[in-house]
Structure 1
Amino acid sequence: MRRIADSGYSTLLMPDVPQWQPAPGPTLAVAATFADLRVGTWVYASPLRPAWSTAWEAHSLSVLTDGRFEMGIGTGRPGIENELRELGMPVLPPSERLAPVRETVAVLRDLDGPGLHTPVVMAVRGPKAQALAADLADTVTFALMPGDDRAEITRLVRDFRAIRDVELAQHVAVIGDTVAPFMASPDTDPAALRAADSLAVLPDDPAAAAEEIQRRREEIGFSYFVFGADFADVLAPVVAELAGH
């Protein structure tokens, strides 16, 4: 944790997938005691727990970390339906999956009260999710599909920012020819992503990566980039170069 903080990274994020790692709540609470980092979920899968439970945990993490926690939340990654069935949990139809997200944020705001504001990060794609994020989110990330090119995501981002100007985050799953574990499908083809000019990939050369990140900041508006932990050392020079920019 200290090594990541000393390299200039601002935030430690954890996914919300049972059996991948310890549960995010206790892990992030412990991590925040080791280094002066922000911590957060990337992202809570709302179908896995009741809204009040997620909100209570998020509020508690904000209190325990002195306001250094941010709640990332979404409706679950592709394939979560099979996981829910294995766990004996209900599978909501797509038209109903955003309601628990709204409810979670509403309960969180009640728990926070006037003296605390836990930042909410929402992963979105379709128009209904974008509309909800425009109402509730402090930071928004757009879920990338394998065939998405730069032009498509730029259009999505600009259309969204015409509704509300919020911080924009980007999930970068591939550095060079290496796919970050758990951040993309194992069959992800880095060469195909580069051919499509996908925003899901960055060069592994630090200077080229820094230049590309700066380009995405200036041309599209991304200011928050999420990388896999396995890339922390490789990208440390990039973080150092861009710090304060």
Structure 2
Amino acid sequence: MAKKIIVLDPGHGGKDPGAVGNDLLEKEITLMIARKVAKRLGNYDVTVRLTRDDDTFLSLDARAAFANNVKADYYLSIHVNAGGGTGFESFIYNGPVNSVTGNLRTALHQTIATFVKSYGIVDRGEKKANFAVLRQTNMPACLIEMLFIDTAKDAAFLKDDEFMRGMSDAITAGLVQILNVEAVTPAPQPTPEPPQPSTPVWNPQGEIQKLIDAGIIFNNHPADAPVTWGEFAAVINRILNSNKQ
């Protein structure tokens, strides 16, 4: 069975910075979130495609066409709001859409809203709009607006690493839920073989040389030469005598 495909679309980019405020650029925040979500989705049985993975400008038409061309099962456009408000909101197309689009958006919205409300952030609700990327995509599509970049309170959250990790987790959890994708089970790693003890190198002629150096024997006999009982007794006696010294 083919994997489901999710297209993440970080809003703006390149010559289009998006909303600007409180030393933040929308295009940078959206790309950061998209990358974090894509990384988290890597733990699931799903294919993730980003419309952009760097600071590149893409037209709205190109973004929708990208999702259509890869035959995505779901499209999520990621944005940051502006205009002096506060809170989180989501959008689907305000024209004809099937019930699946609405149901999936509701489930995704509620997952993200539960997270932001835990920080006391306002849930501005589920909305509809005539956005080009929602109108031109052929699959269920949603656009989210994560807080207001030009409101100091919201901007403080957008600058907070812990909050942004939590936002990424919430978006990921919502996508996993609505697309019903399973976590990937890591392949079992083979148990490494215990190291084998090294086999000592046997050097018979070297052992004979050690006896010569110790004064136990006096001639450099070939290692495979036969030994008489008399020679054997002489060697043993020399060893015994050396221990008495």
Alignment TM-score, normalising by the size of structure 2 = 0.27
Alignment TM-score, normalising by the size of structure 1 = 0.27
Structure with higher helix content? 1
Q: Computing the radius of gyration over CA atoms, which structure comes out larger, 1 or 2?
A: 2
Q: For CA contacts below 8 A with separation 6 or more, give which structure has more relative contact order.
A: 2
